[in-house]
Structure 1
Amino acid sequence: MHKKSFFSCIPVAILCVGLLTGNCQNKNINKSQRDKEGFTSIFDGKTLKGWEGDPKYWRVEKGTLVGEITPTTLLKTNSFIIWRGGTPADFELKGSFKITTDGNTGVNYRSEQLTDIPFALKGYQADIDGKIRYTGQNYEERGRTTLAYRGEIVTVNTQENAENPESFRANVKNNAWQARQVTGSLGKSDSLQTLIKSDDWNDFHLVVKGNRLQHYVNGVLMSDVTDNDTANRKMSGLLGVQVHVGPPMKVQYRNLRLKQL
């Protein structure tokens, strides 16, 4: 059997270190793990490998990533389980979710982790809830609040003096960012709501490229944001999924797949 020299193995070792640190840029490394559309699984369905969150709320069960709040583990602040595989900039993310009627969750992206609150993220969120009031909209967690309601095409404009906290708060009214302009419609919110299943599995697909953020549920575009707010927008960051303050709930995620563009 042909044996490789020690020095010929060095590049392989370097690649392995890159994988562990999340800094590897070689697009061929995970080629065998990609599906025919170029997506790579980021949840193995068996363990929480590659994810970090409070085990009081997160576990793996029957191939799904489960977030659950019980009467004895009620939250004081929203809590996330965070993917530690990198900080994607332009990407597509696909998966499925199932949530109980009283549940509230979301998929965060291009987010930053707070240092003063455990497992808290600040950033864009594909909103999801059991009563289907918010599912499909674009909400910025701990930031500008609602950027687009379900059914809206929105342009978010730069707000002057946004670095001033008082000015920032003044631009939030009724839990929505005022420096946004609705430029088109994807359909009435109530009509789109009927396409989302209650207490059953639904597919989601996020398309995030440049300053355009599109949220699909069950193959239907639910919100479309063009974020021109250079003072507040983020162009890369962490991925994570949420359990929200409120009554006992359970959310399940499966088939989480990422394609970096």
Structure 2
Amino acid sequence: MKALTIGTVTLSVLVMASCGAGNSQQNAGDSSDSAEYMELFDGSSLTGWRGDTSLWRAEGGALVGEIVPGEELANNSFIIWDGGQPADFELIAEYRMTGNGNSGINYRSEELAEPLFALKGYQADIDAANTYTGQNYEERGRTILAFPGQHMRLPEVSGSVSDYAKGNIWTAGEEVESLGDRDSLRLLIKENDWNEIRIVAKGNQLEHYINGTLMSKVVDDDSANRKLEGMLGFQVHVGPPMKIEYRNIRLKNLD
């Protein structure tokens, strides 16, 4: 599959109200009523993004990733934002998934030399069945750090990642508290419709929200394996034909 790259980014800054409302858990980590956000996607082109243009396009005001029948992937592929490597930030976007696939937003990640457009790092997971949507998955790293409904602490470890990553789960994690029943949380996610995803990363604390509800939280005390800054990218995942759309993608740096 031939991969093409897209040029560098031009950012616009606007002022908008914070998204999400609800109980105290839902508002945890919420932004102020008025704050500066950067729009990461202009709604009409892939300016500022770099990825495989046979998989990604701008269409209908959305950043669209699609796997079509007969063009299945050998590896997960990302479209990568070229505007920087955020450290502490809040990222808000709307997404809609059709088909039976998997996607996600990687952050504080590093780009690998091979395969093309591959990222390693934290991911706010999204899947069509909403089994994993909102969890924290470390792509090409420690695997599942927190399932939906979990607040996890990751202690310091010695040894290799493979010593603790078993069955696609980071077994060294310690559950701090439950954020809710997984089956109940998944009912808050709309199928084949637009949902809002929000990531709040500050220091070693990582929070994932869907439609204003806190789905997972990680406190990463594992200094040998954690990342405190890095690249942003959106994923199309190995698997069945699917389409993922992202729109209204905006980023606020947190001091």
| Pairwise same-fold verdict (TM > 0.5) | yes
- 2:96 paired with 1:98: yes
Distance across 2 between alignment mates of 1:248 and 1:130: 11
Matched residues, number: 230
Name the counterpart of 1:122: 120
Fraction of identical pairs, as percent: 53
Three-state SS of the structure 1 residue aligned to 2:185 is helix
Query: Do the aligned partners of 1:101 and 1:131 also contact (CA within 8 Å) in 2?
Result: no
Partner of 1:55: 53
Secondary structure of 2:159's counterpart equals: coil
User: Which residue of the partner structure matches residue 149 of structure 1?
Assistant: 147
Q: Is the 8 A contact 1:101 1:129 kept in 2?
A: no
1:259 aligns with 2:226: no
What aligned pairs does 1:48-197 form with structure 2 within 5 A after superposition?
A: 48-162=46-160, 168-197=161-190
Question: Is 2:94–2:248's contact at 8 Å kept on the other side of the alignment?
Answer: yes
Aligned counterpart for 2:14 among listed residues 33, 45, 69: 33
Partner of residue 212, structure 1: 205
Shift of 1:21: 8.5
CA distance in 1, matches of 2:118, 2:53: 14
CA positional deviation for 1:33: 3.0
Q: Higher strand proportion, which one?
A: 2
Q: Is the 8 A contact 2:102 2:126 kept in 1?
A: yes
For 1:83, the aligned partner's letter is W
Give, in angstroms, the shift of residue 119 of structure 1. Answer: 0.3
Give the superposition deviation at 1:34: 3.8
Pick from 223, 230, 233: which aligns with 1:240? 233
Q: Give TM-score scaled by structure 2 length.
A: 0.87
SS at match of 2:36: coil
Deviation at 1:161, TM superposition (A): 2.1
Deviation at 1:174, TM superposition (A): 1.8
Runs of at least 5 residues in structure 1 that lack an aligned partner in the other structure: 1-19, 23-28, 163-167
Is the 8 Å Cα contact of residues 101 and 198 (structure 1) preserved in structure 2? no
Using structure 1 for the length normalisation, give the TM-score: 0.85
| Cα drift, residue 217 of structure 1 | 0.2
Q: Which of the two has higher C-alpha Rg?
A: 1
Letter in 2 for 1:175: N
The aligned counterpart of 2:31 is none
Distance in 2 between the 1:102 and 1:253 partners?
Answer: 17
Q: Secondary structure at the match of 2:218?
A: strand
Which string of whole-angstrom CA distances, capped at 9 and with x for unpartnered residues, describes residues 189-208 of structure 1? 11000000111110011000
- 1:4-35 deviation line (CA, Å, top 9, x unaligned): xxxxxxxxxxxxxxxx799xxxxxx96x5343
For 2:116, the aligned partner's letter is: P
Higher helix share: 1
